[in-house]
Structure 1
Amino acid sequence: MTEARGSADPNGETHARYSPGTPCWVSLMVHGLAATQDFYGQLFGWEFQPGPQQLGPYVRALLDGREVAGIGQLPPDRHLPIAWTPYLASDDVDQTAETVRLCGGTLGVGPLDAAEAGRLAICSDPSGAVFGVWQATAHLGTGITGVPGTPAWNELLTFESANVAKFYKTVFGYEEKPVVSADFDYVTLHVGGRPVAGIHGVGNALPRDRGPHWMTYFEVADTDEALARLVELGGHVLMPTQDSAHGRVASVADPEGARFSLIQSPR
């Protein structure tokens, strides 16, 4: 993770419509929907309400009544990697999906309508990392950020940043800011001059069982306390807590193996 995001407002930042290319939602597809709701409900204080059912049973996670993430249930015969997937905003999901295909990406699902909420596609970039595209109508996306229990950052872990950054720049029109370092391969993606996501080239350090993938960071009040609670709830620690320029960070997995990170931003 790079680019400081600044101190969070204690009341969070509320969001209206997201600019194209900005991560606007995160969603998780699992086998045990009820158990996953219980895990994240206890970890982040989320409550849940039913969402569009086009892809099967699906709930939206709420924090103080505002939507922050989605969790759906995979069909029993679908053996896909369990992973948090960021959705990138688009004004025209059909056109974005076609650009993905023309630039060497793959269209996995859609484009299709999610009832009156919006229109979506699920794609993968040329390296195989999965992401979603969301064209909002009634559902604009994550309603609040900057407080514990909300998405704080999305970062692509891949083999090397340069080529895949060109793909995302062509599809979404990002401005890029590479980190110039002999031993750190990182590009920050900007929309309207604001950092919205990162691409981290880690070479052979990628987990062999996952390959390139997006990682969502969730804000917590205290990383060490959240880590202890996560373990009690059946989660797993992938990288113990460490201090960084952007806060106190740990990489973890939920009981079904979905990887994500916890971050306690500097106060």
Structure 2
Amino acid sequence: MTETTRVPGTANAPGAPGTPGWVTLVAPRPERLKGFYETLLGWEFRPGPPSLGMNLRAFVGDRPVAAIGQAPQHRASRAAAWTPFLLSADIDLAAMAVGACGGTIGVGPLNDREGGRLAIGADPSGAVFGIRSVAPFGRPGEGPGTPAWHELLTYEPYRIAPFYQRVFGLSSVRETNPEGAERVVLHAGGRPIASIRGLGRGETFDRGPHWVTWFQVRDVDADALRAVDLGGRIAEAPHDGPYGRTATVVDPEGTPLGLLDRRR
């Protein structure tokens, strides 16, 4: 079953408002993750802006793709998750829209070291996401090591999707898969950029609503095994899907991430 729902919004090219442009992770022991991501995704780490709590910034070539920070002590026991930042031309207006649409803003809006602005909030289900100004960051490019897809795992995707549509001017396509899981694919300018998925039969979310980021790799099968060798584990074995071959692994600090090869 597929149903298309659209809300008013401007067309979005890569790097334009509404598209994911950055991901961050806070972990109890971020230094423990350097070797894992350097080897698995080919990242080069450089010191991050300490004022924002991001100890490490990850690059693919000269393009920044992610940041990892130290989890505050009061959050050390929480399950970690990659947080996508959606781009906005007006952070302050977007932050106001978050509150008006049933979400909350926990951090910001505030200025970052690069001259842009950002905020961190939660949607009505409690899933954390970020908002970042379009400049100086656009999409983190393409190719191995870059974020390629984002999916929100939540309990009521059809109820949560309108929140992201209204705040970021996106459109959506509703789906129900054979396992009974509801799924909404978010589009910017006619291009799929992320999805929101509910529980299928027999599934449980032991982490609460959260986002998962898939990173582009050259060989999903080999890299899933490599993640295990690096101290992680496989949560979902490699398989072919609608957007390519994928697998879900968990890093040594317990953070889920996806591996994706779009070429198949």
1:4 is aligned to none
Which residue is equivalent to 2:145?
149
Segment of structure 1 superposing worse, 108-117 or 248-257:
108-117
Gaps of 5+ in 1: 1-15
Q: Report what 2:195 is aligned to.
A: 198
| Correspondent of 2:28 among 8, 27, 31 | 31
Task: Give 1:164's aligned amino acid.
Answer: I
* Aligned sequence identity (%): 47
Residue number among 206, 226, 230 corresponding to 1:229 in the alignment: 226
Which residue in 2 is equivalent to 1:101?
99
Report if the CA contact (8 A) 1:48-1:62 is conserved.
yes
In structure 1, the residue corresponding to 2:51 is in which secondary structure? coil
Deviates more, 1:69-78 or 1:19-28: 69-78
Q: Structure 1 CA distance, aligned partners of 2:134 and 2:49?
A: 13
Q: Deviations over 1:35-73 (max 9, x none)?
A: 211210111111112232223242221112221211112
Residue 211 of structure 2 is aligned to residue 220 of structure 1: no
**Aligned residue in 2 for 1:20:** 17
- Asked if structure 1 preserves the Cα contact closer than 8 Å seen for 2:248 and 2:259, the reply is yes
Helix, strand or coil for the counterpart of 1:126? Answer: coil
Name the residue aligned to 2:250.
Answer: 253
Alignment RMSD = 2.0
- Confirm or deny that 1:168 pairs with 2:154: no
The amino acid of 1:148's aligned partner reads: P
**Secondary structure at the residue paired with 1:186?**
strand
Deviation at 1:142, TM superposition (A): 4.2
Code of the residue aligned with 2:156 in structure 1: it is E
- CA shift for structure 1 position 116: 2.7
CA distance in 1: counterparts of 2:223 and 2:42, whole angstroms: 11
For structure 2, which runs of at least 5 residues remain unmatched after alignment? 1-12
Please name the residue that 2:119 is paired with. Answer: 121
Partner of 1:10: none
- What SS is found at the alignment partner of 1:82? coil
Q: Deviations over 1:159-199 (max 9, x none)?
A: 12211011111111111111255734111111111111111
Q: TM-score, normalised by structure 2?
A: 0.88
Matched pairs, number: 250
Letter in 1 for 2:86: L
Select which of 36, 40, 43 maps to 2:37.
40
For 2:26, give the aligned amino acid: M
Query: Any conservation in 2 of the 1:189–1:197 contact (CA below 8 Å)?
Result: yes
